[in-house]
Chain A
């Protein structure tokens, strides 16, 4: 068993982060924007865990717990905003709310 180079784990995290960023910029629907944000947070958490296992220290996984808490908070607030958006505009398209009105 030779082990996995740390760079490969980091490159996987970077690929996932870039895919999430591309989805964030590409999609117009708020559901897809929220899911792309989840992918990006997940990639950051993966980078933390890769660092933790490379150095054999548990601090990275404690940070992973904090990232997962942040993702849960972000998802709950984002989904509540999405429900409000759908109730007011009957659509999830983000360009519907680009106009400011009281």
Chain B
């Protein structure tokens, strides 16, 4: 269990570093899928198999397939030759420094917390989660349903395909 946790965490961090430093869109999507599956293995190692299965099915299976479809549909090219800024340290030094300061601050806060709890890997089954979700947390399920409906309406309205000639004059003053 411990070995699985630390190895999967290492894989997740390395895949995320590969994601934010790469230039090819398809490679980045595959790195993100590897990172999500590694996080799902972390969930399994922590004793949350339902969350791990949902992570694989919903995140890696549905959301990332959406990303892959969009990347394939737009036929994106690697941005290596038109992104020379990446080679300059002044370009990435500032944001990395800010993120590093945030990381150090958060780690120091967690270290100060003195929680002292250990995760012993006791299973939390889907039955417990379902009883919580459809008992006292029913309003959360309904809020999620409203959120998904709003996202569906927004995506189908924003993502419609315009006519290439017609959209120039639409909404304009001409």
Contact = CB atoms under 8 A, between A and B. Distances in A.
Contacts of A5: 117-119
B118 A61 contact: no
B118 A4 contact: yes
Interface residues of B, number: 89
A70 B119 CA distance: 27
Interface in B155-169: 155-156, 158-159, 161-162, 164, 167
Contact of B70 (A8, A18, A49, A83): A83
Interface residues of A, number: 73
Contacts of A72: 58, 62-63, 148, 151
Interface of B: 1-2, 5-6, 9, 12-13, 16-17, 19-20, 25, 28-29, 32, 35-36, 39, 42-43, 45-48, 50-51, 54-55, 58-59, 62-63, 66-67, 70-71, 73-74, 76, 79, 83, 91-92, 95-96, 98-100, 102-103, 106-107, 110-111, 113, 115, 117-122, 124, 128-129, 131-133, 137, 140, 143-144, 147-148, 150-152, 154-156, 158-159, 161-162, 164, 167, 171-173
7 contacts: A7-B115, A15-B103, A21-B99, A28-B83, A49-B51, A58-B129, A72-B151
